[in-house]
Amino acid sequence: MASTEIARQAGEGARAVPLSGHVGFDSMPDQLVNKSVNHGFCFNILCVGETGLGKSTLMDTLFNTKFEGEPTQHNQPGVQLKSNTYELQESNVRLKLTVVNTVGFGDQINKEDSYKSIVEFIDAQFEAYLQEELKIKRTLHSYHDTRIHACLYFIAPTGHSLKSLDLVTMKKLDSKVNIIPIIAKSDAISKSELTKFKIKITSELVSNGVQIYQFPTDDETVAEINSTMNGHLPFAVVGSTEEVKIGNKMVKARQYPWGTVQVENENHCDFVKLREMLIRVNMEDLREQTHTRHYELYRRCKLEEMGFKDTDPDSKPFSLQETYEAKRNEFMSELQKKEEEMRQMFVQRVKEKEAELKEAEKELHEKFDRLKKLHQDEKKKLEDKKKALDDELNMFKQKKTAAELLQNQAQQAGGSTTLKRDKERKN
């Protein structure tokens, strides 16, 4: 029999070897990109913010299209999340974009639980992916990833500071999703107020320990632009899908009596910066962070919560799917046991009731028997009495006939006075 000897030279630090000619693997990035183009991309954005802050309009402006939907009412009982998926295409890139909107956020009188439905939604997407990953027969490469890659947090343009609802919500979300805070409807704030506002917001976020998404600065090609942009957070944006003629061009703008706010003019608002960062420079990084940081954290917590532990290198590995199923089976058998117990109890009760009823029936029978007996006794008594009466009657008749006979005899012998006397005697 053959034996193997696995000799690994230079493990981690492999030798660097110079090439003496063109090999051709520099086409690898192209091959990878080509494959992704064929496959299509997906990107999921969550918009969190109070009703009326222009979330839908901003999405329309960002992606240059009119997503369907009407403005929501302000009387929602709780925070709901509505998600819509769209297929966009630009040159040869197909993007499956999902926009999730928080409906009714900030509209309730008691907003304590507002963040909960958002956190639940995000967790649900992670859970779905985890389930798929743990399946035995899985199709990860064709799985439609619904995990939220970016969360745009819309801050109301008060000009003062963050609302406590904002702080609480962002704090709950920062370990689950990449948060990009933006100041909505920023044409309501003047430039000087805006700088102060931004500084206030940033300092509040820092002092409350809220981790917002930082544009990555490790790749030299984009390090510079990303670090500059990091300093401009939160972006003050204005959204508009209406076009206004400025000079000889049609631009997206909001027209006021005192002037026109141009969406794509960097002196007017930070819309261009947002679009640049969100889509053109860091979309891939947002997806990667979601997968390698937020999802891994969720997965780790979930598995530890379920009672799993990493095995040490000596023992054989166990299957997460197996133990997950085992636990589920155990839970099901527990349910079955309970069901069985309930059934037993039910059967018991029925038996008891049945016994009770039998008792009652027996009693009734007895009563009936008693009554019957009583009835018979009565009847017998009556019959006896009747018999007695009959006997008496007979006797009386006999006596009467006997008496009449005697009387006839006496009459014949004695005369009418005795008859009278007898009559009187009789009367």
Partner 1 sequence: KEMGVFPLLTDFSYSHLLSPIPPAGGPVVDFSYVGIDAILEQMRRKAMKQGFELNIMVVGQSGLGKSTLMNTLFKSKVSRKSVLAAAQEKIPKTIEIKSISHDIEEKGVRMKLTVIDTPGFGDQINNENCWQPIMKFINDQYEAYLQEEININRKKRIPDSRVHCCIYFIPPTGHCLRPLDVEFMRRLSKVVNIVPVIAKADTLTLEERDFFKKKIREELRANGIDVYPQKEFDEDAEDRMINEKIREMIPFAVVGSDQEYQVNGRRLLGRKTKWGTIEVENIAHCEFAYLRDLLIRTHMQNIKDITSSIHYEMYRVRRLNENNTVVAHVLVNTLATRYAHTVTPVCMCDALQFSSPSTTY
User: According to CB under 8 A, which residues from 7 to 36 bind partner 1?
Assistant: 7-11, 14-36
Least Cβ distance, residue 361 to partner 1 (angstroms): 43
Q: 161: exposed, middle or buried (C-beta count within 10 Å: 0-12, 13-18, 19+)?
A: middle
47-76: which residues touch partner 1 (CB under 8 A)? 62-64
DSSP code string of 240-256: ---EEEETTEEEEEEEE
> Would you say how long the chain is, in residues?
427
SS3 track for 88-114: EEECCEEEEEEEEEEECCCCCCCCCCH
Q: Give the angle 215-219-221 at the CA atoms, nearest 5°.
A: 100
- Tell whether omega for the bond before 234 is within 30 degrees of 0, i.e. cis: yes
Closest to partner 1 by CB, 94 or 111: 94
Closest to partner 1 by CB, 158 or 333: 333
Torsion of CA 167, 173, 178, 181, to 10 degrees: -20
Bridge partners of residue 151, in order along the sequence: 46, 179
263-282: which residues touch partner 1 (CB under 8 A)? 264, 266, 272, 275-276, 279-282
Least Cβ distance, residue 40 to partner 1 (angstroms): 11
Least Cβ distance, residue 220 to partner 1 (angstroms): 10
Q: How far apart are CA 147 and CA 353, in angstroms?
A: 56
Q: Is 318 in the site for partner 1 (CB under 8 A)?
A: yes
Are 320 and 303 a contacting pair, CB within 8 Å? yes
Which span sits near partner 1 by CB under 8 A: 78-86, 150-158, 207-215, 318-326? 318-326
Which span sits near partner 1 by CB under 8 A: 69-77, 167-175, 302-310, 343-351? 302-310
Q: Please give the distance of CA 340 from its chain centroid, rounded to a whole number.
A: 29
Closest to partner 1 by CB, 105 or 215: 215
Q: Is 96 in the site for partner 1 (CB under 8 A)?
A: no
The SS3 call for residue 73 is: coil
Q: Please give the distance of CA 402 from its chain centroid, rounded to a whole number.
A: 111
Are 219 and 288 a contacting pair, CB within 8 Å? no
Closest to partner 1 by CB, 137 or 425: 137
Q: Is 425 in the site for partner 1 (CB under 8 A)?
A: no
Q: How far apart are CA 286 and CA 278, in angstroms?
A: 8
Q: Is 128 in the site for partner 1 (CB under 8 A)?
A: no
Single out the residue of 309, 424, 425, 427 in contact with partner 1 (rule: CB under 8 A). Answer: 309
Q: Is 248 in the site for partner 1 (CB under 8 A)?
A: no
201-240: which residues touch partner 1 (CB under 8 A)? 219, 221-222, 225
Binding marks (x or -) toward partner 1, 321..350, rule CB under 8 A? xxx--xx--x---x----------------
Least Cβ distance, residue 34 to partner 1 (angstroms): 7
| Count of residues near partner 1 by CB under 8 A | 97
